Structure 1
């Protein structure tokens, strides 16, 4: 991962090239609750990590779980040691510009900790919240949660769930599973004594994945996995995969964050194949 020829390196090269060209037709916004130059993690803002880069034609949204990543544009590409200790997850989606107004509203709810951004005035009419978040001057009222439909540049449909700190509940059990109408297997960082148990109290259940298998005999515990994703249980009608920001922890109920979900069957089978075993209720 620590090379500009990696998947992330080549994707982010577009950011560094846009920054070097000082192009006023391109905007970017980078956020992480763990800023690359800081040893502390921010709890004032959302438990969110990601990057947006766009112009008036299209752009991409990278959502990931890697602390202190990526470096600010002036620093150039690097992959941090904090991303090597545990397993990580991410998804990068290209959107036409007409989708960025909906993304703008979702970011307001997620309240990300933005540490590098540039949003020229040509975008300010359509994108109200991102320039305010960029300058840390937002006075907009934040809803407790918001769901929006998005469509990629190639026509792939997505749902994005965003919760604020005032939605004091487990985003998986209380909202996502019930809205998607599917039992979910969740893989999030399960720190000992800080995890929520599997939940079968509502019509659609949520189960904690306890171990991941990569290939052959390679596997590891959820205690070693910093990824945040969930996938529909096998043999369920609605097959969803969601990738995002939050852990199944009682402390995360107080944090802003979100998940982007897809019914792409290639993604579903890839993530379903990672589950070695999960925790049943009781």
Structure 2
């Protein structure tokens, strides 16, 4: 068993086979919504497949799962937005056996649940005004419930703006070590089998670029980043000699769009790793909390590199 680490990051590693008493199987799904509508690219394990409605993808991911607790978080709610704290967006849900976690980039989007703990298909939707730009989604299921406290700590580090309709808004009080000198954390969600999945989290108190100052320094390689390109860029953002480079365009078949029309947050390196999360590469994001997952998957990495034309 091994883990990525650096002097700047607390890295917690778990052998899933030893803690997974319910024998759940970690699975993940990835979708990239295209601009101007709900059409999306669905990663089927080998390649991207063009499909029609990413809302159906989200509902299918949660369908037939009954949850006892869930936390919806988004820096933009229907009636209010938070310009400070976490820039993170997602739905973290669990029962007595497993944890499921949707991480996405869509403002105001929430996964709604009925009184019995099942996804409410009628109330789970993306607002029409949010269809204009590209968006990214990653869904993890089968996370062992034994990792609940560690993953709730990841949420707490990011300082999310929690939706009032969540079943709970309680997050753990951070330890002095995490809340003090580090304020960034990396946790291995799966080490028992390949691909390996990690979650990384950054506090809004830690004013860094999560891509160059955390992801690249911890996981290595040369990274290309597809994020919202508005406002002040990070240094050397288009420098081909840099270890972290901003992407300019996405191309799939006859579809091409620029990063200025893509609200997604994902990246890939030259060593089979992919990041999908909720922070942009802009200086204004230094003071925001957020994170995402690092997935080691050669096929997914290959497809991300292909649509970036690398």
- Structure 2 length as normaliser, TM-score? 0.71
Per-residue Cα deviation, 1:74-95 (whole angstroms, up to 9, x for no partner): 6722221243110000100111
Q: In 2 relative to 1, CA 30–212 (structure 1 residues): closer, same or farther, beyond 3 Å?
A: same
Q: In 2 relative to 1, CA 5–165 (structure 1 residues): closer, same or farther, beyond 3 Å?
A: closer
Q: In 2 relative to 1, CA 248–164 (structure 1 residues): closer, same or farther, beyond 3 Å?
A: same
Could you tell me which residue of structure 2 aligns to residue 131 of structure 1? 170
Structure 2: any 5+ residue segments left out of the alignment?
Answer: 1-37, 39-51, 115-121
Could you tell me which residue of structure 2 aligns to residue 27 of structure 1? 69
Alignment partners' CA distance in 1, 2:237 and 2:108: 32
> What is the CA-CA distance between 1:71 and the residue it aligns to?
5.2
> What is the CA-CA distance between 1:204 and the residue it aligns to?
6.7
> What is the CA-CA distance between 1:273 and the residue it aligns to?
1.4
* 1:188-267 correspondence runs (5 A): 188-191=227-230, 193-198=231-236, 205-215=243-253, 217-232=254-269, 236=270, 238-267=271-300
Alignment partners' CA distance in 2, 1:13 and 1:4: 14
Kindly tell me the number of residue pairs found equivalent between the two proteins. 246
Per-residue Cα deviation, 1:180-224 (whole angstroms, up to 9, x for no partner): 111100010001x422243599x9710010011122x21000000
CA RMSD of aligned residues (A): 2.8
> What is the CA-CA distance between 1:174 and the residue it aligns to?
1.3
Contact 1:89–1:229, Cα closer than 8 Å, also in 2: yes
Q: Which runs of 4+ in 1 moved over 6 A?
A: 2-5, 152-155
Which of 131, 150, 167 is the equivalent residue of 1:102? 150
Tell me the SS of whatever aligns to 2:309. Answer: strand
Contact 1:186–1:207, Cα closer than 8 Å, also in 2: yes
Contact 1:62–1:90, Cα closer than 8 Å, also in 2: yes
Q: In 2 relative to 1, CA 11–276 (structure 1 residues): closer, same or farther, beyond 3 Å?
A: same
- Structure 1 length as normaliser, TM-score? 0.78
Contact 2:224–2:244, Cα closer than 8 Å, also in 1: yes
Tell me the SS of whatever aligns to 1:56. Answer: coil
Tell me the SS of whatever aligns to 1:46. Answer: coil
More helix by share: 1
Alignment partners' CA distance in 1, 2:292 and 2:191: 16
Greater relative contact order (Cα 8 A, min sep 6): structure 1 or 2?
2
Could you tell me which residue of structure 2 aligns to residue 184 of structure 1? 223
Q: In 2 relative to 1, CA 96–222 (structure 1 residues): closer, same or farther, beyond 3 Å?
A: same
Q: Which range moves more in the overlay, 143-152 or 180-189? A: 143-152
> What is the CA-CA distance between 1:268 and the residue it aligns to?
1.1
Contact 1:109–1:145, Cα closer than 8 Å, also in 2: yes
Contact 2:194–2:296, Cα closer than 8 Å, also in 1: no
Q: In 2 relative to 1, CA 196–68 (structure 1 residues): closer, same or farther, beyond 3 Å?
A: same
Per-residue Cα deviation, 1:92-113 (whole angstroms, up to 9, x for no partner): 0111212222211111111111
